[in-house]
Structure 1
Amino acid sequence: MRKIVGVLKKIIVFLIVIIISIQFVRAYVYNKIAPELKKWHEKSSFKEPDYKKFKTIDEYLIAEKIFLDEVFKEVEIDSKDNLTRFSKSGILSSLDKEGNNINASFQMIPENIKGGVLLLHGLTDSPFMMRDTAKIFYENGYYVLGLRYKYHGTYPGELQKVSQKDFEDAAVFGSKMIKEKLKDIKNPEFYMVGFSTGAAATLQYISSSIRKDKDLLKPKKIFWLSPAMGVSPAAKFGFLDSWVSLIPTFKKFQWLDINPEYDPAKYNSFPKNSGIQVYYLIKKAKINFMKLSKKEKEELPPIYSYTSLVDSTVLDKDLYDIFFKMENPENKLVIFDVNRKFEEFFKPNVINLNLRDEALDLDFKFNVSFVSNYNTKKDDAVEVLNYSSGKFSEERNTNLKWNESNFSLSHVSIPISPNNSIYGQNSILGDLRLKGENNSLYLSPNLLYRIRYNEFFEYIENDIKEELKNSLVD
């Protein structure tokens, strides 16, 4: 027995040495080939405003503006570099014409308030990503709060500080600020909108509001945009890279991507810590959700989710799994298909996906809508295939159509209108068409051809408006 134990110990030690050696080799190679780090890849010397210190959203917005101004000055480029978010004079600056930071939290206040809406953006994003969706609610009489997470909307080095709790705290703080804002409104309605990581934060929020904190404002309905209900399992092992990257020589190894920061409202560089923390957030949200009893699940608000059939950021099977386990027939899942005109260019798993057969085989217990030109293969003949209670119905002659050169939507495009000033169809980044020789740029080709706006944003807009009308009837 002692011999066996001794052999096992030697094997374990051997494996540990192998793992450590592999990590150091990976770190050494990455350190050699990765671009040089800039000042904005460091951590800021400033502290984020503490949510707990503020009783009203107006107090917080003032403190946040001072903070964002200070942080911007710390890495501001004093030159005419037009292609960076850190140049005041640049065409892609984070500051608008009035000098306001577009990454800041925002509120929209209609004249006659029906209720409130909290919008939570995604990882590496800022509240600007939520402005197009926010307008839908504002124009229908709802007070809107688009809240910035800590360490977002500043510069990417800050994401080395972020923890999964920061996303949870933002959801709780935002709901309390809306509750305070609506205190004089009779029977106000409350909604939540979560994009990507924001969806995971809303799942954690509603599970906690049912299981633990009964004082939290409960949303009547929730809307998810490209919801992050699952990310690569490799994220759980990110801590191994983090340990190695603590050695100054391997500082670059803290980063999964090191890219130029030309996007004024979203980080292009991506530290591994942020992915790890989102993995922890999703895991915690799912655990708390699974702890809900059958009776408690009945307290969950209806959820309306909008996602692209192809999404390289999140795992769609985890989203479907959550919907199945919620067992709420009011829930609705909207899937935007790829442009079937380009079927010859797609991978087999996409080409062979028959949406009608999939729905029948899986026997969805919730509502599903497929926005697709599966039958026609034409840009201007997009149909909506609705599935409810085991039956299909098709909506033809819609106004929905593909741009002739677009082959799919993307994870980041779902909440963005084609008219968006930065990411829209005729904007600088939305219409980016760089062409040249292979291996000339250290920018990933994925960043260059990834679509930034949603061709079918009008569908989401009409869908949300319809649900708001139904809420008034209820």
Structure 2
Amino acid sequence: MKSLFTTLLLGLTLAFYVSGSVLNAQSLDTAFDRFAQIYQQELGSTQGCQEPKLQEFAVCSSALRGDGNAPYILHHGKPTDKVIVLFHGLSDSPFFLRSIAGAFHLEGYNVVVALLPGHGLLNADADMQDSELANRWRKRVADISELAINLGDSKYIGGFSTGGALATEYVLKQPGEYKGLLLFSGALRLDSTVETLANVWGMRWVAKLMDGDYQTAGRNPVKYPKVSTYAALQLVDVISSVREKIKQKSVLNLPIFVAHSQADATTLIQGVKDLMAANQGQNKFFEIPLSENVCHADLVISDTQLQDMHYDMSNLGEVEACSVPQANPLHTAMIAAAITYLNEN
């Protein structure tokens, strides 16, 4: 009788385990299928990546400048207790979030790194002059947020630069959906001249003329040579939306992690400080001193990323400050602070 009972117990345990494994696999497959579908619709066609990696689901395409620009999901073969959704910045690509996403993945979390519309492309001229570009970014955030529920129990959202602004706008519009917000060089305030020009009548038409035939090829294979002026004005619309919601006393009550450099002349640090002041939840601020001279785009770059970027350093000549990528000397400490934030919240 005891032997029969043991056999039945083992059988039930095995059935439960197999059933759970199947459900986990189905949950991930649902997320992967939707992730691939989003980019098939946008890029026209997708293909296998040249160097597929373990525990990574990436969507590559001949429409992209290269596989380094591809969106990806770092996973553990099953839903995890937390899933982190990240978005990159204006003119760059998911590559810039590689070190951050990789560190979170090593902590045991599933991580989604999306590609925003108009980015990573061989030809981005039409996208960078699209009057609906900001709304397309917003839809991408919403679509990725929807599929992320299949990857983890608690969702966290964040991003670098423009990606951070979009993530902030989303949590203000959808309070309660995400458990936390992570901002890296969050674009919540630009130079006052840029923001003022954005409100001048006819400036968007002028911006298109200034951009001309928007070029995507340059020294950096994972970033466009320059920021589209027209797209930057679309970013100002997102920033204005964030400010308006804060002004309307929209409830912001969640743990926020912020990493920002005092030397950042692209997205001014006061923007993230204003957000933290309005937040009713706990803030964790990794503020990089002015003396470290960390430029805006360099905050997210590690030494390994800098090597993997394959930036063309030939015949550079005299260069402007912050025009050539450098690794953030405090990158390791920044990642450690972000991981502590996730583990505590």
TM-score by length of 2: 0.75
Do structure 1's residue 464 and structure 2's residue 317 form an aligned pair? Answer: no
Q: Which amino acid aligns with 1:229?
A: L
Residues 289-324 of structure 1, C-alpha deviations (whole Å, 9 max, x = no match): 33235xx34xx2111100111112112222222222
* Contact 2:35 2:144 (C-alpha < 8 Å) held by counterparts: no
Give the secondary-structure state (helix, strand or coil) at the position aligned to 1:189: strand
1:189 is matched with: 154
Q: Distance in 1 between matches of 2:112 and 2:206?
A: 40
* Contact 2:88 2:159 (C-alpha < 8 Å) held by counterparts: yes
Q: Distance in 2 between matches of 1:281 and 1:128?
A: 23
2:141 is matched with: 171
Given the alignment, which residue of 181, 186, 191 partners 1:227? 186
* Contact 2:76 2:110 (C-alpha < 8 Å) held by counterparts: yes
1:326 is matched with: 279
2:320 is matched with: 445
Q: Distance in 2 between matches of 1:415 and 1:141?
A: 20
1:58 is matched with: 33
Residues 308/432 of structure 1: CA separation in 2 closer, same or farther (3 Å cut): farther
Q: Which amino acid aligns with 1:119?
A: L
Give 1:143 shift: 1.2
Q: May I ask how many residue pairs the two structures share in their alignment?
A: 294
Do structure 1's residue 265 and structure 2's residue 206 form an aligned pair? Answer: no
Do structure 1's residue 105 and structure 2's residue 71 form an aligned pair? Answer: yes
2:256 is matched with: 303
Do structure 1's residue 137 and structure 2's residue 138 form an aligned pair? Answer: no
Residues 183-222 of structure 1, C-alpha deviations (whole Å, 9 max, x = no match): xxxxx22211211111111211111113xxxxxx622221
Q: Distance in 2 between matches of 1:308 and 1:229?
A: 13
Residues 157-208 of structure 1, C-alpha deviations (whole Å, 9 max, x = no match): 12112522222222211111111334xxxxx222112111111112111111
Q: Which amino acid aligns with 1:220?
A: K
* Contact 1:255 1:272 (C-alpha < 8 Å) held by counterparts: no
Q: Which amino acid aligns with 1:416?
A: I
* Contact 2:257 2:285 (C-alpha < 8 Å) held by counterparts: yes
Given the alignment, which residue of 408, 415, 424 partners 2:293? 408
* Contact 2:91 2:228 (C-alpha < 8 Å) held by counterparts: no
2:303 is matched with: 418
Residues 189/259 of structure 1: CA separation in 2 closer, same or farther (3 Å cut): closer
TM-score by length of 1: 0.56
Given the alignment, which residue of 70, 81, 95 partners 1:128? 95
* Contact 2:84 2:157 (C-alpha < 8 Å) held by counterparts: yes
Give 1:427 shift: 5.9
Give the secondary-structure state (helix, strand or coil) at the position aligned to 1:286: helix
* Contact 1:197 1:228 (C-alpha < 8 Å) held by counterparts: yes
2:129 is matched with: 160
Give the secondary-structure state (helix, strand or coil) at the position aligned to 2:149: helix
Give the secondary-structure state (helix, strand or coil) at the position aligned to 2:73: strand
Given the alignment, which residue of 114, 125, 130 partners 2:81? 114
Residues 25-55 of structure 1, C-alpha deviations (whole Å, 9 max, x = no match): xxxxxxxxxxxxxxxxxxxxxxxxxxxxxx7
Residues 68/261 of structure 1: CA separation in 2 closer, same or farther (3 Å cut): farther
Q: Distance in 2 between matches of 1:70 and 1:278?
A: 28
Higher relative contact order (CA 8 A, sep 6+): 2
Give the secondary-structure state (helix, strand or coil) at the position aligned to 1:102: helix
Give 1:237 shift: 4.1
Identity rate, percent: 19
1:316 is matched with: 269
Q: Distance in 1 between matches of 2:344 and 2:41?
A: 41
**How much is the aligned-residue C-alpha RMSD, in angstroms?**
3.1
- Can you give the 5+ residue segments of structure 2 that lack an aligned partner in the other structure? 1-29, 48-61
Q: Distance in 2 between matches of 1:145 and 1:261?
A: 27
Q: Which amino acid aligns with 2:186?
A: P
Give 1:111 shift: 4.2
Q: Distance in 2 between matches of 1:277 and 1:271?
A: 10
Q: Distance in 2 between matches of 1:128 and 1:122?
A: 10
Give 1:433 shift: 7.5
1:234-273 matches, within 5 Å, as: 234-237=196-199, 240-244=202-206, 251=209, 253-254=210-211, 261-273=218-230
Residues 139/179 of structure 1: CA separation in 2 closer, same or farther (3 Å cut): same
Give 1:241 shift: 3.9
Do structure 1's residue 146 and structure 2's residue 116 form an aligned pair? Answer: no
* Contact 2:94 2:113 (C-alpha < 8 Å) held by counterparts: yes
Residues 65/263 of structure 1: CA separation in 2 closer, same or farther (3 Å cut): farther
Q: Which amino acid aligns with 1:337?
A: P
1:61-76 matches, within 5 Å, as: 61=36, 64=39, 68=43
Q: Distance in 1 between matches of 2:314 and 2:287?
A: 27
Q: Distance in 1 between matches of 2:196 and 2:110?
A: 40
1:208 is matched with: 173
Q: Distance in 1 between matches of 2:216 and 2:266?
A: 17
* Contact 1:111 1:141 (C-alpha < 8 Å) held by counterparts: no
* Contact 2:117 2:133 (C-alpha < 8 Å) held by counterparts: no
- Can you give the 5+ residue segments of structure 1 that lack an aligned partner in the other structure? 1-54, 73-87, 96-100, 183-187, 211-216, 340-406, 439-443
Point out the structure with max Rg over C-alpha.
1
